[in-house]
């Protein structure tokens, strides 16, 4: 049986963000203060969103399965601690860089970013291939959607916007239409218009217009 894939939107967004992070880590000139500062900002954004995602899973999503199969999410929960520590170390080293590091030091950091990306991508696959299908026999799609709503309600408007910005460009036209049709009905028109304008630079030319053709 197949059920609601509630991890699909954030995971597509996180894969997109990690791809950007690895790309930026490879093409940054670590001796250029402007480029280094931009990479540092991106690293902090990655850290904020990954931490928030892990907290949502630990506090809301994993307990759904733990209530039915105690201990089932222990390994994934442990992954969060290990991955958090790796990223924390990468961010701390970036924060300490002042433009005087050697190219070899910069390359070592780049390799660590890509290794982190590889390990994080495997974690995401395990959650979607192994964990998520285990939920389906126990919960209806509506019950899973209720969990999703709990998470959305705890987010500040800034955080919600940050998620939109990484998830929307990583999802299909149809998926984006579904989300925009849902939020358009409940948000004040100016807030909705603000979301659309903030998303515009994230899409290739014409794609946002195609999405909007299917939004009532």
Query: Could you tell me the smallest distance in angstroms from the CB atom of residue 7 to Fe ion?
Result: 5
Query: Could you tell me the smallest distance in angstroms from the CB atom of residue 48 to Fe ion?
Result: 15
Q: Taking CB under 5 A as the criterion, which residues in 55-74 touch Fe ion?
A: 57
Query: Could you tell me the smallest distance in angstroms from the CB atom of residue 143 to Fe ion?
Result: 19
Q: Taking CB under 5 A as the criterion, which residues in 98-137 touch Fe ion?
A: 127
Nearest CB to Fe ion, comparing residues 73 and 176: 73
Total of residues contacting Fe ion (CB under 5 A): 2
Cβ–Cβ contacts within 10 Å for residue 82, how many? Answer: 10
Q: CA angle, 179 as apex, 178 and 180 as ends, to 5°?
A: 95
Entry field: residues in the chain? 216
By CB atoms closer than 10 A (0-12, 13-18, 19+), residue 20 is middle
Nearest CB to Fe ion, comparing residues 57 and 135: 57
Query: Could you tell me the smallest distance in angstroms from the CB atom of residue 126 to Fe ion?
Result: 9
How far apart are alpha carbons 138 and 133 in whole angstroms? 10
Cβ–Cβ contacts within 10 Å for residue 94, how many? Answer: 21
State the binding string over 12-51 for Fe ion (x if CB under 5 A, else -).
Answer: ----------------------------------------
C-alpha to C-alpha distances, 88 to 32, 156, 190, 214, nearest whole angstrom: 23, 23, 37, 41
Site residues, Fe ion (CB under 5 A): 57, 127
């Amino acid at each position: 049986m197949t059920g609601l894939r509630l991890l699909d939107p954030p995971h597509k967004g996180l894969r997109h963000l990690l791809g950007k992070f690895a790309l930026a880590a490879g093409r940054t000139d670590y001796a250029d203060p402007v480029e280094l500062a931009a990479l540092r900002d991106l690293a902090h954004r990655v850290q904020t969103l990954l931490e928030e995602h892990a907290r949502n899973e630990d506090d809301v999503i994993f307990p759904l399965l733990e209530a039915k199969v105690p201990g089932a999410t222990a390994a994934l929960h442990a992954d969060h601690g290990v991955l958090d520590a790796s990223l924390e170390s990468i961010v701390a080293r970036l924060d300490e860089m002042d433009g005087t590091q050697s190219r070899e030091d910069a390359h070592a950091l780049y390799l660590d970013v890509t290794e982190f990306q590889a390990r994080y991508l495997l974690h995401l696959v395990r959650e979607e291939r192994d964990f998520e299908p285990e939920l389906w026999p126990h919960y209806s799609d509506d019950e899973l959607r209720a969990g999703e709503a709990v998470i959305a309600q705890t987010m500040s408007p800034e955080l919600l916007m940050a998620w939109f910005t990484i998830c929307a460009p990583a999802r299909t036209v149809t998926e984006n239409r579904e989300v925009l049709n849902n939020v358009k009905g409940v948000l004040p028109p100016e807030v909705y218009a603000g979301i659309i304008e903030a998303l515009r630079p994230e899409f290739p030319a014409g794609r946002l217009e195609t999405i909007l053709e299917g939004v009532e």
